[in-house]
Amino acid sequence: MGRSAIVTGSDPGIGQATQLPVVLLSHRGPVSFGRDEQGRRTASRGAGGLVTALTGLISDLPDAVWVCAASSEEDAAVAADRDGGAVEVALEPEPRLLDEDGAGDGQDGPGVRLRLVEVDQQAHDDFYTVIANPLLWFLQHGMYGLALAPVLTKREHAAWNDGYVAVNRLFADAVVSEVQARGGRALVMLHDYHFYLVARQVREQCPGAVLSFFLHIPWPGPDAWRVLPPAWREAVLNGLLGNDVVAFHTEGFARNFLLTCQELLGLPVDLEAMTVRVGDREVAARHYPISIDVEAMRALAASPEVAEHAGQLREVYGGEERQLILRVDRTDPSKNIVRGFEAFATLLEDHPELVGRVSFLALLQPSRQDVPEYADYLAEIGAIVARVNAAHAGEGHEPIDLRLVEDQALAVAAYTVCDVLMVNALADGMNLVAKEAVVVNTRESVLALSENTGAHQELGPFAVTLHPFDVQQQADALHEALTMGRDLRRARREAAARVVEENDIAKWLTAQLTDLGVTPGDDQRS
């Protein structure tokens, strides 16, 4: 399908129907380059739900460019080879540089233009490891106890100015140059908490641009933001108010945003219309639950690579008597992995008959290891797994199979063969793992899903709900999931899959374009 952005006459700032190119910004890009042992260039997929969601969409948008950070030395080298200009890549079936050796090999999906922005190492550390993660991430996921953390010292103040503010300026400059290269008129789609300050600058320099922002993580109520110094939180809000639309996964997050503008900036908000007035403009707060490309996920599940992994998993965990609990996550403290293993240990203590029959496979991608809180959390994960396995190992088996890997084919294979998928996040904007698993599972698995995920609003009725701080409740819920009758499991999984099929990633994009006065249509240039 060729999808282009056509602005209709209903958009006040744009006038007549016009095609708009898309300039998309996120910190993590869809592909990162490296070198293998032979010195050959490699390309791998970027981490996390944002990349999962956007990868399939961007190729459909003509004249689109994805601006993102150069996250490796090789990314920087690729960008430098093109004097900082965009590179052409194919994202599917595997990520690959297209303009390196002339034409593709015919196997590549449609190309995407990627602008890799190189960031000074010190500025990036300040931006990423001091401000974005942990400070904003922890604040927005409600992870600070506040008695002892966070502590904002000279170090954090310097990191705000020389890191977060400076890096936002750098990326705003890159977005501005891409918009200007398109005649000053573009749909600018900004993503996530790394870039709260960008819209304001882009609006000043490109008044012809339509600006939208999508947040992939929770937005808490006004009081949570008081942890930040007034100048910082006001900069965050004023930056976001440079957009035409600020969008979230859930209505609750959108409402929290408006209440934050009202309480911390004293701006008039309309909670019926879901708008905030900023001078002579109205900024809309909207919610669009993000999703997955169901067809692509099912095609991957049907691939030989996934089938091979699934066969291996069945050899280890298959059999009528055996059951498999699965989790697939970044090793992020917000994912609540340690309490999940504690709940599993409680399950085995309360139901010793399950020892040796039920295993827990955890496919965990080490995440943000340059942030001390994340490195500590990974160590905690290793420690609890060692404790549970020491306490409950039987002859020839360990109850928890912990694999620190990033392997999409293995993860999808595990979705197909598991009996229970555990998602017990403390707080999660959406959680795409839950959506992925229900559309490809073949064993009528049960979704055990935290009530604090965005996904729970759509899939909660078909899941066993987990209360993320209550380890006993999680153990009981796992038992309920493992002992649920097959008919009920099948009915629930099918219903959950239907919800995901009907609300897929294409619908997420279309809803936003429609609200912006931008409707998808045929690309007249193709």
Residues of this chain that interact with ligand ADP (CB under 6 A) are 48-49, 52, 328-330, 363-365, 405-408, 411, 430-433, 436
- For β-strands 65-69 and 111-117, DSSP reports them as parallel
Is 274 among the residues that bind ligand F6P (CB under 6 A)? Answer: no
Nearer to ligand F6P, 191 or 443 (CB): 191
Q: Does 435 bind ligand F6P (CB under 6 A)?
A: no
The whole-angstrom separation of Cα 45 and Cα 30 is 6
Q: Cβ atoms within 10 A of the Cβ of 74, count?
A: 17
Taking CB within 5 to 8 Å according to partner kind, which of ligand F6P, ligand ADP, none is near residue 309?
A: none
Q: Are 115 and 82 in contact (CB under 8 A)?
A: no
Q: Which of 75, 126, 192, 293 binds ligand F6P (CB under 6 A)?
A: 192
Q: Of 50, 210, 235, 236, which one interacts with ligand F6P (CB under 6 A)?
A: 50
Selected range binding ligand F6P among 46-54, 338-346, 392-400, 437-445, rule: CB under 6 A? 46-54
Least distance in angstroms from the C-beta of 149 to ligand F6P = 20
CA distance 140 to 302: 37
Neighbouring residues of 154: CB distance < 8 A, sequence distance ≥ 6: none
Minimum Å gap between C-beta 226 and ligand ADP is: 25
Nearest one of 227, 188, 193 to 205, comparing CA atoms: 188
Burial of 77 (0-12, 13-18, 19+ CB in 10 A): middle
| H or E stretch covering 58 | helix 49-58
In the set 113, 115, 141, 216, which binds ligand F6P (CB under 6 A)?
Answer: 216
Contacts of 317 (CB under 8 A, 6+ apart): 324, 359, 361, 417
Identity of the residue, 217 or 446, whose beta carbon is nearer to ligand F6P in the bound complex: 217
Please, what is the angle between helix 251-265 and helix 230-240, to 10°? 120
Decide whether 237 or 328 has the Cβ nearer to ligand ADP: 328
Rounded distance, CA 188 to CA 176, Å?
10
> Which CB atom, from 185 or from 330, has the smaller least distance to ligand F6P?
330
Of 329, 140, 315, the closest CA to residue 222 belongs to: 140
Residue whose C-beta lies closest to ligand F6P: 48
Is 291 one of the binding residues for ligand F6P (CB under 6 A)? no
Min. distance of Cβ 327 from ligand ADP in angstroms?
9
Q: Could you say which of ligand F6P, ligand ADP, none residue 408 binds, taking C-beta under 5 to 8 angstroms by partner kind? A: ligand ADP
User: Which listed residue (47, 152, 355, 484) binds ligand F6P by CB under 6 A?
Assistant: 47
Residue 425 makes contact with ligand F6P by CB under 6 A: no
DSSP 311: H
Among 446, 448, 424, CA closest to 491: 446
Pick between residue 347 and residue 426 the one whose CB is nearest to ligand F6P: 426
Residue 431 partner contact from ligand F6P, ligand ADP, none using kind-dependent CB cut-offs of 5 to 8 Å = ligand ADP
* Size of the residue set binding ligand F6P (CB under 6 A): 10
The listed partner (ligand F6P, ligand ADP, none) that binds 328, CB under 5 to 8 Å by sort, is: ligand ADP
The residue (of 49 and 242) whose beta carbon lies closer to ligand ADP is 49
When CB distances are held under 5 to 8 angstroms depending on the partner's kind, the choice from ligand ADP, ligand F6P, none that residue 368 binds is ligand F6P
State the minimum distance, in angstroms, from the CB of residue 11 to ligand ADP: 31
- Report strand pairing: 245-248 vs 269-270: unpaired
- Smallest separation, CB 87 to ligand F6P (Å): 19
Asked whether 347 and 354 are in contact (CB, 8 A), the reply is yes
The answer to whether 48 contacts ligand F6P (rule: CB under 6 A) is yes
368 binds ligand F6P per the rule CB under 6 A:
yes
Compare residues 391 and 404 and give the one whose CB is closer to ligand ADP: 404
Phi, psi of 324 (to 5 degrees): -125, 125
Q: Smallest gap, in angstroms, from Cβ of residue 140 to ligand F6P?
A: 10
**CA 423 – CA 364 distance, rounded (Å):** 13
How far out from the chain centre does Cα 93 lie? 20
Residue 143 binds ligand F6P, judged by CB under 6 A: no
Q: What is the rounded CA–CA span in Å between residue 343 and residue 346? A: 5
Helix/strand/coil for 115: strand
- Site membership for ligand F6P, residue 175 (CB under 6 A): no
CB of 464 to ligand F6P, least distance (A): 24
**Residue nearer to ligand F6P on the CB measure, 47 or 227:** 47
- CB-based contacts of 359: which residues, under 8 Å, 6+ apart? 317, 322, 323, 324, 325, 397, 399, 400, 401
Report, in this order, helix, strand and coil percent for the chain, each rounded to 5.
45, 20, 35
Whichever of 178 and 192 has its CB closer to ligand F6P, that residue is 192
Q: Return the number of the residue (156 or 428) whose C-beta is nearest ligand ADP.
A: 428
Shortest approach of ligand F6P to residue 49 CB, angstroms?
4
Peptide bond into 134 cis (omega under 30): yes
What are the angstrom distances between the C-alpha of 232 and each of 62, 196, 261, 445?
37, 11, 13, 45
Positions that interact with ligand F6P (CB under 6 A): 28, 47-50, 192, 216-217, 367-368
